[in-house]
Amino acid sequence: MEQVTNSPTPTSDGKALAEDLAEALLTPGSAAEMLRLLNDLCTPAEVRTLAERWHVARLLDGTDLSYRDIHDATGVSTTTIVRVARFLRQEPHQGYRAAIDQLSKDKTNAG
């Protein structure tokens, strides 16, 4: 059977590039596969930064720790903690919220 490929077209359109990346990020079927993709896409420092932001979002949502307590426990800057808190609670994207809620739902359904 012939394999059909969707050849990319060169572009500098940020929205199109982000949408294409989002599609690629949906392809891994496991955490291990996603980590492999992230390690190809990002530098080790970028992966760590993303992981720290995610960890902070989960701490802000799932604990009563203050920003200072989170900083002291993780080493993440208070500026980053404030930014994550703003995106978690105020910004319209609600990406953190959707991911946290989905993980909670998955754990509830698995248990």
- Helices 44-62 and 31-41: crossing angle, nearest 10°? 130
Q: What is the Cα 19 distance to its own chain's centre?
A: 15
pLDDT digits (tens, 9 = 90+) for 9-67: 999 999 999 999 999 999 999 999 999 999 999 999 999 999 999 999 999 999 999 99
Residue 3's pLDDT band, with cuts at 50, 70 and 90, is: low
Mean of the per-residue pLDDT values of the chain: 94
CA distance 94 to 54: 13
**What distance separates the 2 farthest-apart alpha carbons in the chain?**
59
- Cα 101 to Cα 21, 41, 60, 88, 107: the distances in Å are 22, 26, 13, 12, 10
Stated pTM of the model: 0.86
From start to end of 1-111, where are the E strands? none
